[in-house]
Structure 1
């Protein structure tokens, strides 16, 4: 199956995680690794997207006005058929995309993003784990239908409350600068000048996850980037990303992604991709 996503991702010099895609019945499912991209196209089919990481850049979705965008982590997005899309980011982020390819449109006629929905988060994580390490009993069509239904039910973005896009950027920069050492909720709340209790509630509303869970996600994202962009050993990467040891990092990888760092690096080295008709 040819890559369906029009985003042209620049490949680093070191081994990159491959784009993972699968065809299941009338559904095409694709997982793009975090990387810079630039794209301009007209959507021939409506699609559901899910941003695992916070992303920022420029876009114009269904309009000719190009504006800065801030995509929240765990945000659900929808692009209707016929919609003009221009989007670019110097960093990008891991992104899941689901399209129905048999000409049957998905419900909705207005694009949206940054929609936080617990069921959509669960389904997107389940699909990502399966794409990273497919099993014979993976229920791709059921997951795709479930994610599409979440998009159909949620066609208007919710307000982010106190954790705005600019505050998320500040928090990301703070976390990324301190990943090699201990990071806690008090320091994150203080950075945003919020009480710890209020910060925890506002963060969960904005991202669908607790600050602690998000911190683990950032450690995983950094580890995967280092595995992609460097030849450092897994033990070195684990310590750089704030894990206690390589064994600790491996356990978190298996729990969150369903695959070990060694398996992921081996799959990237071979450029392994999975297809199902």
Structure 2
């Protein structure tokens, strides 16, 4: 299935995770791994996207004006048919893309991203887990239709609200977390970085990302572990400690719980 994969890697890794794809019924679905990319195309069909990670770069959507973008983690996105798209990022991020293959247009004429929707988060996580496990018999059509409804139905009309956790503050948090992943890291340190009380920070973070700071921290540990598994020859026990897990067994348990696969299976 090549119709959806418009993203071209800028610096491909020798051991890069593959693009995982499934085409079922009237839907084409793919999971793009975290990697630098550059893309330019005119969308021949509408597509729905979901950014699992923070992403930063430059883009132009439906115009020739290129400007910086900062995508929040767990953000739902929509690109309408006919939209002229340019997007480039030196860091990328894991991304889910969905489109119909039967020619029926998805409603909506304006692109958007950074939409936080709890049901969309739940659906995207289920679809990512199934793609990583290569479970081709899962209920793909039901999931794809439900996610499309979150992006194009009444739920898509609400204005995204990030509160105190702006994209700039999210970037500061990501940099702080990345530098501290090899050790313990609590909510108090993250809240202190932004000058917020712990209670206010936890509420604002969930509003902006759809999940708790602790859950997001686990996601960042997993993302770093996957990157080290892909780009290094380090032992899994070494990777576990470098990413802040107590042991290789702890890391393996977290992989199974959050991704549905073991580190050995992914590597």
Q: What range describes the TM-score normalised by the shorter chain of this pair?
A: over 0.9
SS of match in other structure, 1:145 = helix
| Distance (Å, rounded) in 2 between the aligned partners of 1:176 and 1:15 | 21
Indicate yes or no: 2:184 matched with 1:165.
no
| Distance (Å, rounded) in 1 between the aligned partners of 2:66 and 2:158 | 21
| Distance (Å, rounded) in 2 between the aligned partners of 1:242 and 1:91 | 22
- Contact 1:113–1:157, Cα closer than 8 Å, also in 2: no
Once the two structures are TM-superposed, the CA of residue 12 in structure 1 deviates from its matched residue by 3.9
Gaps of 5+ in 2: none
Among 192, 215, 218, which residue is 2:217 paired with? 215
Partner of 1:150: 150
Partner of 2:123: 123
Ranges of 4+ aligned residues in structure 1 off by more than 4 Å: none
| Distance (Å, rounded) in 2 between the aligned partners of 1:2 and 1:164 | 35
- Contact 1:114–1:157, Cα closer than 8 Å, also in 2: no
| Distance (Å, rounded) in 2 between the aligned partners of 1:136 and 1:59 | 33
Partner of 2:60: 60
Indicate yes or no: 2:71 matched with 1:71.
yes
- Contact 1:32–1:96, Cα closer than 8 Å, also in 2: yes
- Contact 1:40–1:86, Cα closer than 8 Å, also in 2: yes
| Distance (Å, rounded) in 1 between the aligned partners of 2:136 and 2:13 | 34
- Contact 1:14–1:230, Cα closer than 8 Å, also in 2: no
- List per-residue Cα deviations over 1:23-76 (Å, max 9, x = no partner): 011100000000000011100000000000000000001111111000000000
Indicate yes or no: 2:102 matched with 1:102.
yes
SS of match in other structure, 1:160 = coil
Among 167, 173, 182, which residue is 1:180 paired with? 182
Partner of 1:270: none
- List per-residue Cα deviations over 1:94-127 (Å, max 9, x = no partner): 0000000111011211100000001000000000
Bigger shift: residues 26-35 or 156-165: 156-165
| Distance (Å, rounded) in 1 between the aligned partners of 2:97 and 2:65 | 24
SS of match in other structure, 1:107 = coil
Partner of 2:38: 38
Once the two structures are TM-superposed, the CA of residue 155 in structure 1 deviates from its matched residue by 3.8
Partner of 1:274: none
Residues 136 and 170 of structure 1: CA distance in aligned 2, closer, same or farther (over 3 Å):
closer
- Contact 2:161–2:207, Cα closer than 8 Å, also in 1: no
Q: CA RMSD in A?
A: 1.1
RCO higher in structure (CA 8 A, sep ≥6): 1
- Contact 2:48–2:99, Cα closer than 8 Å, also in 1: yes
SS of match in other structure, 2:162 = coil
Gaps of 5+ in 1: 266-277
Once the two structures are TM-superposed, the CA of residue 9 in structure 1 deviates from its matched residue by 1.5
| Distance (Å, rounded) in 2 between the aligned partners of 1:100 and 1:137 | 18
- List per-residue Cα deviations over 1:149-187 (Å, max 9, x = no partner): 000131454121100000000000000000000000000
| Distance (Å, rounded) in 2 between the aligned partners of 1:220 and 1:10 | 23
| Distance (Å, rounded) in 2 between the aligned partners of 1:86 and 1:2 | 18
